[in-house]
Structure 1
């Protein structure tokens, strides 16, 4: 085989030769300028020894981040500064090598296990062994979600090594913060770039972002105005109301729709007060001991109501139904209880108008009101609303819901709502319910990631029993899960 291969291609070729044997595959020649030196020795030895020599050279090259290119003396870099952090304990180093070379938890759970190792290492203030830097950086390059956790444990040697290999340049990449200087090219930048800038600015200086948006409002096309207006969702406050009120008069329906959605999130706005007046006029009650709430259909809107969103309905949509939904979505939630004297539970149980319930649900979601979310959940399961409740309430409702699901798909979707980490009791109920469902190879494989991240270690024996009674595609994922649940406490203990 001729020289000229890059180090990575050469290394992969060496692996292939080692796998199938040098009798069936020739040992590849190393990259120039190493080729002459290594090949000269290869002529004096057997192919097996030549392979071992090449592997030794390749290991040194990879540890040094070298490409195999000859580097003149004038380009040689200074050696790495001494590391600052102490080395990870021996047992922890062995576990890392195991995960990087022969992971017992399978490819799906290996990144999770590596994440546990990296977090524990960072917490302990230790670094990775030099011999593990290359495989760890290679793994993180292929698995971006690991990168942030890798950087703190590299220390000086790892950082130096990354500067010598373009594939690892992500270690030194820094996401720039939006600053005033970045706004100089605002008018000439694309909508995508400006949208990204605004969202970043809204986290640090909402007023500057709003002023920037306003500066080109009259010249931006409708699609850009709608997209950029949506960035106000980050850090939204009543300070944004004047611009949103201005958007209500925009000629473009898309811009007005964005404004409606943002103002729905501001129950203290003038639009909310106007819609509260409309809603109050539609509400009435009957009964004395147990009041029942009644809701009339909206009347024909005046110009002000049309401006607030009570316009013409799209084809196929009930006109008054749209008006009812818009009123319910934009009015303050207190309007329902203050006008009727009925609590949220009573209001929800009385409502029969689907459009009103749809608008009410939207208002509860965007204002993240736990009391109203609880009232809506009392009459029907809603995965989106569950996340608005306190963690203990979420756990109770999710675990109760698990008892009602009949498919693995429903089980997985419901399980993802349960806040991790799970208690020993919750974990036992989760595994017990899983054992009663019809297994699916694909479904179980996808599910083990959620289980691995959340199950209490005490659930490992129950998972092991379930794996022992499983067949086909569900068996291997569960075996990997058992290994993972056993490995995590071992990793944690290794750093103590």
Structure 2
């Protein structure tokens, strides 16, 4: 009997010889040996050349180099061996013993996404992976910029990600680090379970990036289990355990951290120390004082920052004493008053231990650098008494001698932002209608000061600023306002965009603001914006006429994005989205 097997040379669909097989120690003629990543014995089956020769000569003239199954003839055994070899050649992999199956994924009892929201997430993730996805496409919304907001809203509802979409979500977060906290929160414990099986997702195992979102808390554990995870677990699991213990008992959490502090790597010490921020209390002062002597400069700086956030800590008292020695009130001959400054002449070891960095940045004087750090770390409450004034506004209004005002006020700005002091922030900001600080004026940072104000007051101040000065100087200020933008801020931005359109400007001159508006405007503004998509009638100069079409396209994209955001919110709330939505 002669085998009828067809050889690769004559088959209409030849078996490809994958080049990657060579990388695994294989060739097309002889048996392969175990390659990298295999742990089993070398392949002892027939080589491809042996099978090919037998097929050409026929099974009656050459013995089949494979053992037939019971009741199987020689031709069938040859075909089986060729089929097995073909699969191996196409896969370009060596056979190896099967690994142990991974343990079952942990339970996640959070509610599943509504079906419409599940479809929306699949589309957002698919758009991210599509060639050219996420770019500007005429009037279509930029879906990649909507994914962070979708994740934040889904976490706010306490949903879990569908299992089938978890790999795509982890891959999206691998490509964009800004997505990781929200993505891992939505993925929950199953995201960490799956990340252990794919080295490309190891970012999920390095930190407590899922904290701060509903549903991201670590599962309840017994004290014995918490101790085991703290000693043996992955870093993300250890951070979750520390956070859980701190929420339950801040002192116990601090003691847990202290038990292994000496043997933690510097990078881990920094991240673990920062985790104390959420439940910071006076009981942490002793531990933080010890951390001021850490061999890592970043750890020392973080410890000093946390101590300055503790009212009445020994470090704030030391910084206040140093700052008082540098700043004083001087009565002038005409009965007025001014602030005089005597910056430190050296940065001694005590200052450095308390977090003062000795070496200044380029183009910065040493004395002004040291002064700024002392004043920034000192409690703002000391200055009214020191300068003999009744409040922050009076202190800020005082003239400062010898050109020290920029350094002193810049330090006060940073102190107001760090300490969350709204009174000092208002005084340093001044009226929103005042001329903005010159571009080369680095001492005033309105965006940082605004962060200390309540959200409604912050939005009102920025709305006044936009109405008075337009959008050119407003980008960073808009970025610190709560989303969605409250009125009258949303109306002020729309009015400013309309004014820029009527003035003949081009929308790409305001691309940053337009991008923020897509993510931050209240979707209720969509109807008002629709009126701006019509080209004004009547004669127009060349610039305005040329820009009109671009503005129509930009506003259409903005309207489509706002309506899509409204639909996404409705879907996540389990409601029926508006039937007319631009976008997928």
Report TM bin, short chain.
0.5 to 0.7
Where structure 2 has 5 or more consecutive residues not aligned to the other structure, the ranges are 1-11, 14-110, 127-137, 174-178, 188-214, 431-436, 438-443, 537-546, 579-584
Q: Work out whether residues 113 and 488 of structure 1, in 8 Å CA contact, stay in contact via their aligned partners in 2.
A: no
Higher RCO by CA contacts (8 Å cutoff, separation 6 or greater)? 1
Tell me which residue corresponds to 2:478. Answer: 415
The answer to whether the aligner puts 1:307 opposite 2:340 as a matched pair is no
Matches within 5 A, 1:127-138: none
User: How far did residue 119 of structure 1 move?
Assistant: 7.9
Instruction: Give SS of 1:184's match.
Output: helix
Residue 371 (structure 1) aligned with residue 434 (structure 2) = no
Count of residues paired in the alignment: 392
Q: Deviations over 1:170-218 (max 9, x none)?
A: xxx9763474423324345566664554355444443233112211223
Q: How does 1:444-455 map to 2 (within 5 A)?
A: 444=511, 447=514, 450-451=517-518, 453-455=520-522
Residue 460 in structure 1 maps to residue 527 in structure 2: yes
Contact 2:239–2:272 at 8 Å: present in 1 too?
yes
User: Which deviates the most, 320-329 or 397-406?
Assistant: 397-406
Which of the residues 305, 310, 313 maps onto 1:266? 310
**C-alpha deviations, 1:436-462, integer Å up to 9, x for none?**
333345954972563464236256234
Please tell me whether the aligned partners of residues 199 and 231 of structure 1 are also in contact (alpha carbons under 8 angstroms): yes
Task: Please state whether the residue corresponding to 2:242 is helix, strand or coil.
Answer: helix
CA distance in 2, matches of 1:206, 1:430: 44
| Equivalent in 301, 322, 325 of residue 372 of structure 2 | 325
Q: 1:495 to 1:332 in 2, by over 3 A?
A: same
Between the aligned partners of 2:567 and 2:296, the Cα distance in structure 1 is: 60
1:396 aligns with 2:460: yes
Alignment match, 2:274: 230
What is the rounded CA distance, in whole Å, between the counterparts of 1:306 and 1:367 in structure 2? 21
CA deviation string 1:212-271 (max 9, x = no partner):
221122333444433432322232222111011112233443332222222222232011
Distance in 1 separating the partners of 2:311 and 2:484: 34
- 1:134, 1:190 → 2: CA distance? 22
Task: Quickly say closer, same or farther: Cα 1:200–1:445, change in 2 above 3 A.
Answer: same
In the alignment, the residues of structure 1 paired with residue 560 and residue 474 of structure 2 have an alpha-carbon distance, to the nearest angstrom, of 22
* Separation (CA, whole Å) in 1 of partners of 2:292 and 2:165: 53
Q: 2:428 is paired with a residue of what secondary structure?
A: helix
Describe the SS at the equivalent of 1:217. Answer: helix
Q: Secondary structure at the match of 2:261?
A: coil
Distance 1:440 1:300 in 2: 52
**Cα distance in 2 between the residues matched to 1:295 and 1:134:** 62
Q: Bigger radius of gyration, 1 or 2?
A: 2
- Following superposition, the deviation at residue 371 of structure 1 comes to 0.7
Paired residues of 2:185 and 2:216 also in contact (CA < 8 A) = no
What is residue 241 of structure 1 aligned with on the other side? Answer: 285
Q: Aligned-pair distance for 1:139?
A: 10
Does the 8 Å contact 1:373/1:388 carry over to 2? yes
Query: Normalized against structure 2, the TM-score is what?
Result: 0.52
How large is the Cα RMSD of the aligned pairs?
A: 5.5
Report if the CA contact (8 A) 2:376-2:411 is conserved: yes
Structure 1 portions without partners, runs of 5+: 3-83, 124-132, 152-172
- Report what 2:142 is aligned to: 108
Greater share of helix:
1
Contact 1:394 1:418 in 2 (8 A): yes
